[in-house]
Amino acid sequence: MERTIYQVFEVDSARTVTLDIAGIYEIHPWAGTNILAETNIQIWHASPEILGFLIKEGRYDLVAEKIDGGFEIYTKDRNRKPLKTKEGEVTEIATAKIFVPDFYTWTQQEGLTLLQRKP
């Protein structure tokens, strides 16, 4: 079973944006002015209702906060505990594509991604 969720973050005129995202993610430049997160969730050994519940509860959500004239976007639930049903352990894979406005450059530092607005 598979679902994709989308989140949009308005970064206004932020000079910097820090991404602290758990799990597997890729960054792609795009012509938009907002940051778009596309999270794909694949799950095995669970019902559609369980997946719907996990999404509704925000297990895969990202959160944005303004910090010192910039933004930090981070994973809401960093410690996703393994799930179990009466049939056994649930296998889940969540991957994200982060679409970043093309007026930012990015670097990886200590598990974080730092976006900086081009001059």
Q: What is the pLDDT of residues 59-92, one digit of tens each?
A: 999 999 998 889 999 999 888 888 888 888 999 9
Mean residue pLDDT across the chain: 93
Indicate the range of 6-10, 15-19, 65-69, 101-105 predicted with least confidence.
65-69
- pTM comes to 0.90
- Contacts with 116 (C-beta within 8 Å, 6 or more apart), sequence order: 15, 16, 104, 105, 106, 107
pLDDT value, residue 111: 83
Give the domain extent around 63: 2-117
Cα torsion angle, 84, 53, 111, 101, sign: positive
Q: How many domains does the chain have?
A: 1
Share of the chain above pLDDT 90, in %: 77
Q: Using CA atoms in the order 106, 61, 47, 91, what is the torsion angle rounded to 10 degrees?
A: 40
